[in-house]
A = this chain, B = another copy of it.
Amino acid sequence: MDFSYNEKTKEYQAAIRSFMEENIYPNEDTFVKQLNNQESRWEEVPQIIEELKKKARSQGLWNLFLPDEESGAGLTNVEYAPLCEEMGRSMLAPEVFNCNAPDTGNMELLSMYGTAEQKKKWLDPLLAGETRSCFAMTEPEVASSDATNITAKIEKKGENYIINGTKWWSTGAMDPRCSFAIFMGKTDEEAPRHKQQSMIIVPLDGKGVTIKRPLSVFGYDHAPHGHAEIEFVDVQVPEENLILGEGRGFEIAQGRLGPGRIHHCMRLIGAAERALEDLCKRVQNREAFHRPLAEQGVIREWIADSRVELEQARLLTLQAAYQMDTEGNKQAKAAIAMIKVTAPSMALKVIDRAIQAHGAAGVSEDFTLAMNYANARTLRLADGPDEVHKRQIAKMELSKYEEDIHART
């Protein structure tokens, strides 16, 4: 278990840090202003984004998430994780470095499982940052914590597949640049439970695709990317859009989620670090009852608890990254489930304390705290609620003693 940051990581980390100091933090307000001045929050993308993307790409800070050395930076999870933490400090950063979800997951998926043709048509523009994509899995009518509940259909008809179903929480689908969804549905309801699902590429401009509405997270719409409810009615898609083969959907989903969870967790750690930094600065600058807030014991306890929780969550995440790198996604299953329940809760606690230390300012748009809180809260639900991951952790833990139990009885 060697989590040391090697030279490559340290260089990238330094480069990202200075890029963020110079280009990202000072432009967080610019982004909001440009967005608010647009006619519609959804039909345009604030130009600062494309400007910054160009700059980041020119500095080689681009597609860092992709383990593939040719298209990406060729970093292992342990190497990339610390960079993800840096990017997590600003909601703008991931997109600027073309490392934003769900595109990263989609790019990885296409890179791993796509045909040459699929790669050319759908992956390359994503890698170039020219288009965006979404992931259409969650459905409004069933508990998506259990993936076998999915009701959407993908039916073969001649040389096409016919797509039907309603999906929601398709992040990025509102974005005017979003060109396609990776859609999960059932190709065969009679197959064994984990072989019923398939994934297919569905262009969003196709006939029968209707973006019903953007969903909000707490009061945030996350424009211009947004989270969409999308209706698919008899959408016709050529058979070559199917990924990997019929019945492979569940398998792909499993593979897709591992690295993504590490990214999410490290970004949350970055967001929590920023919150703790905000807290520490704020309380040294405000007075109440004749002394700086920083001298109040309760606030000092918040700071200590936050530091301790942050350190632990980071080590746990690095451990998971290390296991993925050295033992593979499957072996790292428990580790990944553990970070999935740890990082969001940790971030919520840290950010909540920072909010409290900021007074009413903390819940407003003047700081990134409330927005990051909402985001972290959502990550206790996205990719399966905490409870599903805890079930899995418990199951693995109990299984260690099963033999023992049987031997005894």
Contacts and interface: CB of A to CB of B under 8 A. Distances in A.
Interface of A: 1-4, 138, 140, 142-146, 149, 168-169, 215-221, 276-277, 280-281, 283-289, 293-294, 296-301, 303-305, 307-308, 311-313, 315-316, 319, 334, 338, 341-342, 355-356, 359-366, 370-371, 373-374, 377-378, 380-382, 385-395, 397-398, 400-402, 404-405, 408-409
Most buried by B among A221, A404, A409: A404
A370 B409 CA distance: 26
Nearest to A361: B140
28 contacts: A2-B3, A142-B287, A143-B359, A145-B359, A169-B360, A216-B364, A217-B364, A218-B370, A219-B219, A219-B220, A280-B400, A281-B401, A297-B298, A297-B301, A298-B298, A300-B394, A301-B394, A304-B391, A304-B393, A308-B341, A308-B393, A312-B315, A312-B342, A315-B315, A315-B319, A360-B382, A362-B381, A370-B374
Contacts of A297: 296-301, 387, 391
B284 A387 contact: no
A307 B380 CA distance: 18
A284 B356 contact: no
B298 A405 contact: no
B359 A390 contact: no
A363 B390 contact: no
A358 to B, nearest CB: 9
Oligomeric state, in number of copies?
Answer: 4
B298 A360 contact: no
Given A218-B219, A377-B363, A390 B315 contact: no
Given A297-B296, A356-B386, A390-B301, A215 B364 contact: yes
Contacts of A405: 281, 284-285
B303 A312 contact: no
A311 B169 CA distance: 32
A231 to B, nearest CB: 16
Nearest to A346: B312
Contacts of A363: 217-218, 374, 377-378, 381
A258 to B, nearest CB: 18
Contacts of A299: 297, 387, 394
B402 A284 contact: yes
A240 to B, nearest CB: 32
A306 B367 CA distance: 31
Contacts of A394: 299-301, 303-304, 307
A215 B398 contact: no
A348 B309 CA distance: 17
